[in-house]
Amino acid sequence: MRSKRLRKSARVKITEKHRTIKTKDSVANIFKTISDAISVELFKNISETGNDSADLMSKTRLSRRQYYSRLSNFTRNGMVVRKNGQNHRTTFGRVVYHALMTMEKAYVNYYNLKAIDSIGLYDSIPREEHNKIIDMLITDQDIRKILFSVKDKAVMENGLLLET
């Protein structure tokens, strides 16, 4: 217990240079935290309902130790907070949840996205035609928004979208 206190106090004294490194590690830790299907299901249940521990353990069919280990990882990464005996998603957890939902939507559209890549790879088609194909194949507005985003400064070169 004492070593945990020392680690927490040591974290407070980290310089700005070390915080950048810690941030990179934290992003990796977030992906590690939601890396298996059961953790994703648990995080989604917490995000959508915020139920108490007994309900969440029964829904996910986790042992007590497995449940609290995953919940500890969510809490440690700032994705979940426990309040009045219930688990609630933090603001940061909302952002992670939204990113997770976007990844799931992309996975649902995986073959359509692959088809868009294939068409762009083998056919030299104008940008307008490429956009029409995207409109026809992709129905989800969030995925379309990502594909059409101007912020990415994507350029059509030899039928492929390349980042600049």
Per-residue pLDDT tens over the stretch 98-149 = 999 999 999 999 999 898 888 766 567 777 887 888 888 888 888 888 887 7
User: The domain 2-99: what is its CATH number?
Assistant: 1.10.10.10
Cα–Cα distances in Å, from 4 out to 7, 9, 20, 21, 30? 5, 9, 22, 20, 20
Residues 10-63 have pLDDT tens digits of: 444 444 444 444 555 678 888 888 888 888 888 888 888 767 777 777 777 888
User: Which residues of the chain are in CATH 1.10.10.10 domains?
Assistant: 2-99
26/4 Cα distance (integer angstroms): 18
